[in-house]
Structure 1
Amino acid sequence: MAAGATVHTFETHLADVDRAIYEEFSLRVARHPSETSAFMVTRVLAYCLEYEDGIGFSEGISTADEPAVIARDLTGLVTAWIEVGQPEAERLHRGSRLAARTAVYTQHDPAKVLARWEGKRIHRREEIRLHSFDPGFVEAAASLVARRNALTVSVTERHLYVELNGTSLDSAIHTRPLG
């Protein structure tokens, strides 16, 4: 955990009807002082929306060679490389070479994020998906975050329903290919 990081706990109930995943778990999320609450919420949502065996958060800014969220199989092989925010094209290129699947979740305007990658070399670009949410959704969720959180995440027909500390929010999950 990074020095000066604030730890947030999310007692999470996940019901992803689209993927038939129903789980309960506790997430301990270290938020570095330079990390915005919107970025942290996007990390947590990416974790939930990509949930699978072997998923976890990377060590954060201290490990620049890993994404925000990563999944590994039992042998340690990277199966999913999940970036958050607006990563550099080089990171996506590296991640898509290492992992069977690469995705990006952003709290930013997706058109601007895609524009950053135009003309840049990205391995298997056409297989990578950029996921975003309705304008204002992540910011509204971020305003509700406390040190200890009760989080329910439900997904059905690519629509996201979140209850965070007793407040309900919802958003479409917008998905765009990079290629």
Structure 2
Amino acid sequence: MAAGATIHTFDVTLADVDRGVYESFPLRMARHPSETEAFMITRLLAYCLEYEEGIDFTEGIAAKDEPAVLVRDLTGAIVAWIEVGAPDASRLHLGSKQSGRVAVYTHRNPGPVAAAWAGKKIHRASEIPLYSFEPGFIDTLASALDRRNVATVSITERRLYVELGGVTAESDVTSQPAA
């Protein structure tokens, strides 16, 4: 019998000074058995950094034709396609054609992630930002991950401050174009 997903809950307090977003909300995240803690933390942060009305998690790693996070408008149309990790160029191409905006958040070294897309067909590639964090930031937060979590996420001038389970970490959110 295959192992099922592990459910993690988060009580999130978000203060995004850069965008004027101040919210508190509960989140339930299913963690697939093959999903690393670092990937899950990056999914959580991508959700917070992109938070707006209509945002939702997809099936994550198990989703074949969807990103980790989607934003839909009231009609159901895809407004933003948010990938996590190191998606292949074909996923970015698909997302860019289906939505008005695409972004990628990675817990890996962004250089090799972007290099894998070089020379590949990606619709509007120059408009797709690849966001990354300082070395060790994601690992510090991943070490504090529990089944039930309280998270405080603050963003000011693209500097990210996170408290998770009593562990505090901070990082700049750096960006480079996909192409």
Normalised by the length of structure 2, the TM-score is 0.97
* DSSP-derived class of the 1:12 partner: strand
Question: Matched residue pairs, number?
Answer: 178
Measured in 2, the distance between the counterparts of 1:5 and 1:141 equals 20
The two structures, once aligned, show a CA RMSD in angstroms of: 1.1
Q: 2:3, 2:33 within 8 Å by CA — same for their partners in 1?
A: no
Measured in 1, the distance between the counterparts of 2:170 and 2:160 equals 5
Match of 2:93 in 1: 93
For residue 39 of structure 1, what is the amino acid of its counterpart?
Answer: F
Measured in 2, the distance between the counterparts of 1:129 and 1:62 equals 24
Deviation (angstroms), 1:3: 6.3
Deviation (angstroms), 1:177: 1.0
For residue 173 of structure 1, what is the amino acid of its counterpart?
Answer: V
Identity of matched residues, %: 61
Measured in 1, the distance between the counterparts of 2:61 and 2:118 equals 25
Match of 1:117 in 2: 117
Measured in 2, the distance between the counterparts of 1:150 and 1:25 equals 10
Measured in 1, the distance between the counterparts of 2:128 and 2:89 equals 12
For residue 165 of structure 1, what is the amino acid of its counterpart?
Answer: G
Deviation (angstroms), 1:62: 3.3
Deviation (angstroms), 1:96: 0.4
For residue 49 of structure 1, what is the amino acid of its counterpart?
Answer: L
For residue 137 of structure 2, what is the amino acid of its counterpart?
Answer: F
Measured in 2, the distance between the counterparts of 1:140 and 1:152 equals 15
Measured in 1, the distance between the counterparts of 2:101 and 2:28 equals 24
* DSSP-derived class of the 2:52 partner: coil
Match of 2:22 in 1: 22
Measured in 1, the distance between the counterparts of 2:79 and 2:64 equals 18
